[in-house]
Structure 1
Amino acid sequence: MKDMNELPLGIKQLFTSITYLKEGERVLIITDDDKREIGEFVYKYAKQFFETSMIVMPPTEGHGAEPTEAVTAALNNCDVAFGATTYSLYHTKARLNASKNGRLRWIGLQDYALHMFETGGLTADFDEVTRVVNRVAPFYKGNTFTLTAPGGTHMVCSIEGREPVLDHGTATVPGSASFPPNAEVALGPVEGTANGVLVFDGSIPHPLLNLIEEPITCTVKDGFITEISGGREADILRKMLADFNDPTVYNIAELGLGLNKENFLCGHMAPDEGSFGNIHIGIGKNLNFGGHVDSPLHLDMIIKTVTCNIDGRDIMKDGDLLV
């Protein structure tokens, strides 16, 4: 096969509108023992068109945990890297430094399933997705952020001085990074300012949780989750966070508004985070969002059908975009 039109649609999108890969560029595929099926699927097609290498490593212990030294070195010597791993490498120092220092375009494929290459968010028109993200971005900043949702969420925090971080689902220029089919505008709340209640009723993309059956209620005080209540899934989350034995994992780190209409909640990270009308609250590490909390964890948790208000203006109301 040497015709891109014969590729699975999602694979074709990865090589074209998502990365603008060109002949002669170097492709690196990073995978681990639990996601080799995804890594090898991308590798099978990438090697037909580009100089492609693949590294297999053990799964890291969680989102944001550093990869092996060999992966860190390889990231500094490629044009496009696909991270087909169990947990996200996006927030790692290895990825951040490679994006800052070199020519790297980073595409996170963590927590992928094969069906995602054929249906859902990867089939979106990414030019249109980019237009939507860019349209929302100027409105997604200010001083006071108020979040509500029908499930019982009501939280207020300061976003003063914080600039929106955009993920168009594409990485087309050196230094850029994305996590297709996610598409979002995100903000890092000012540390210590978030107060209220968060009710997670969508999903928590993690092998132990995924689609939420019984809502998880989290009390937030002065920037940290202080109490977690609910059923079996709340117990899993509570233990998972406690096992870190590190208070930073409870930090409210991110307010990420999903903006890809082709996505749907399915228990996988990229489509869930980028699902239109929902928000994901990231906890733990916030270095990528203008903050200074360097936590061993960055975990995103989704709330459905949200209303986001900044300084008295509704950006989204009951899941409908108003800007």
Structure 2
Amino acid sequence: MSLIKKDKNRTPAQVVVQDVVKIKKGERVLIIANPATSEIAQDLYSASCEIGGQTTLMFQPDKTSFDNANPEVLAALASRPDVYFSISNIKLGKDPQATANPYVTEDGQKFTHIADYLMDGLKVMRGAWTPGITVDMMNRTAAIDYKELQSRCARLDELFKNAVSVHVKAPAGTDLIIPINGRALMFDDGDFSKPGTGGNIPAGEVFISPVVGGSQLKSADGKVLEQQSDGCEGVIVYDGSMTFSDGDSIIETPITCKVEKGYVTDISGGAEARRLLKTVLEAELRPFVLEKEGKLPQGQAAVYKKNARNIGELGIGLNPAATITGNMLEDEKAFHTCHFAIGENYDNDAPSLIHLDGVVRDPTITLTYADGTSRTILQDGSLQLE
């Protein structure tokens, strides 16, 4: 299948280059791909060159959650392009030097990958990443109404303001309380036009990092409160799809995860549950090997082991063209779903070797505010934004 023209005779790649990342003439653009994603990468290359971008296209082998990116790829990122695209069949790959010696910003934030450091830390780069992208997915989900998506994200941002916790329930059995006091809602809204912004193609979600179990709670203005967070409490039943170290799959037998004080304490179900547990166990054990080899700072392995079971994200799908296909890049954007990640979070206070997304169908999501009031934003999977 080849890329098709949509949206007034533009290809999806042209829509992404012109409307999402908004490449300008003369900007340096780096595209990193695998042989399996060459068609999409080459279309983005052509679309970028048409605009006048100074574009470089690189290929490396497929990378799993535990593999390192090729040194040449990391060196190219270190050259600080204005825009980067990671068009990966699975993952971009880790940054072993930054894992061993993280980049640190002036305000003390630590980053274990050069791409994250340049985009989220220094905010000198912008871009998009597409782990698991296919031509079919690009054709169906990339050329959407981004203004409408951005409007939904902005409305949800308003509703999340001053919320201290989230309650998620779903028909398959999910029932989880999530502390979010002091956390900010983040967007994958398809506006990656400013330095320091970026997200997925397909775009279409909002997401937030739960407060880590045992950490200090902070108020909305950043002041540390006296009490500590006990973390997420309850049960997650994944019944949509799940990410594993070697790829994604639709779930045939639901995976039940018991969560206590912010961490997964038990994983049960069928073959998918055993596959998830295998990935989590590997993420618990491998840091000690890396620490012994000098690839992690001393004492960091225990932190990575602990966070391999952390609940690192709650996300809500907002792309009307996305469906559950067994490919997490699309699945987590689907309407009528939410997703929870096990492992690393997006607030840089729970480092881990993994970030495993899993989809829950038809959730009811209720926000509770500091004044004790509440607001339901999804009812049985349907948005309640009016």
Query: Which residue does 1:23 correspond to in 2?
Result: 25
Which digits, 9 at most, give the CA deviation of each residue in 1:261-303, with x for residues without a partner? 12111222332111122111011111x2x35111011111111
- The reply to whether residue 248 of structure 1 matches residue 307 of structure 2 is yes
- The reply to whether residue 78 of structure 1 matches residue 81 of structure 2 is yes
8 Å CA contact retained: 1:191, 1:291: no
Letter in 2 for 1:94: I
**Does the residue aligned with 1:264 lie in a helix, a strand or coil?**
coil
In the alignment, the residues of structure 2 paired with residue 83 and residue 24 of structure 1 have an alpha-carbon distance, to the nearest angstrom, of 20
Query: Which residue does 2:202 correspond to in 1?
Result: 181
- The reply to whether residue 275 of structure 1 matches residue 334 of structure 2 is yes
Offset of residue 319 of structure 1: 0.9
Letter in 1 for 2:27: E
8 Å CA contact retained: 1:160, 1:190: yes
**Does the residue aligned with 1:146 lie in a helix, a strand or coil?**
strand
CA 37–202 in structure 1, closer or farther in 2 if over 3 Å, else same: same
Larger CA Rg, structure 1 vs 2:
2
In the alignment, the residues of structure 2 paired with residue 38 and residue 17 of structure 1 have an alpha-carbon distance, to the nearest angstrom, of 17
In the alignment, the residues of structure 2 paired with residue 117 and residue 321 of structure 1 have an alpha-carbon distance, to the nearest angstrom, of 25
RMSD (Å) for aligned C-alpha atoms: 2.4
8 Å CA contact retained: 1:30, 1:83: yes
Which digits, 9 at most, give the CA deviation of each residue in 1:58-98, with x for residues without a partner? 333307x6534433332343222110113345995212111
Q: What is the TM-score normalised by the length of structure 1?
A: 0.89
Percent of aligned pairs with the same amino acid: 30
8 Å CA contact retained: 2:160, 2:185: yes
- The reply to whether residue 309 of structure 1 matches residue 366 of structure 2 is yes
Query: Which residue does 1:197 correspond to in 2?
Result: 235
CA 291–313 in structure 1, closer or farther in 2 if over 3 Å, else same: farther
8 Å CA contact retained: 2:34, 2:62: yes
- The worse-fitting range, judged by mean Cα deviation, of 83-92 and 308-317 is 83-92
Q: Is there any run of 5+ residues in structure 1 with no aligned partner, and where?
A: none
Q: What is the TM-score normalised by the length of structure 2?
A: 0.76
- The reply to whether residue 172 of structure 1 matches residue 193 of structure 2 is yes
Offset of residue 308 of structure 1: 0.9
Query: Which residue does 1:218 correspond to in 2?
Result: 257
Offset of residue 20 of structure 1: 1.2
Letter in 1 for 2:28: R
Query: Which residue does 2:62 correspond to in 1?
Result: 59
Offset of residue 11 of structure 1: 1.0
8 Å CA contact retained: 1:212, 1:233: yes
Offset of residue 155 of structure 1: 0.6
How many residue pairs were aligned? 316
Which digits, 9 at most, give the CA deviation of each residue in 1:162-201, with x for residues without a partner? 1111110331111111112232221111112111110111
In the alignment, the residues of structure 1 paired with residue 116 and residue 18 of structure 2 have an alpha-carbon distance, to the nearest angstrom, of 23
8 Å CA contact retained: 2:234, 2:258: yes
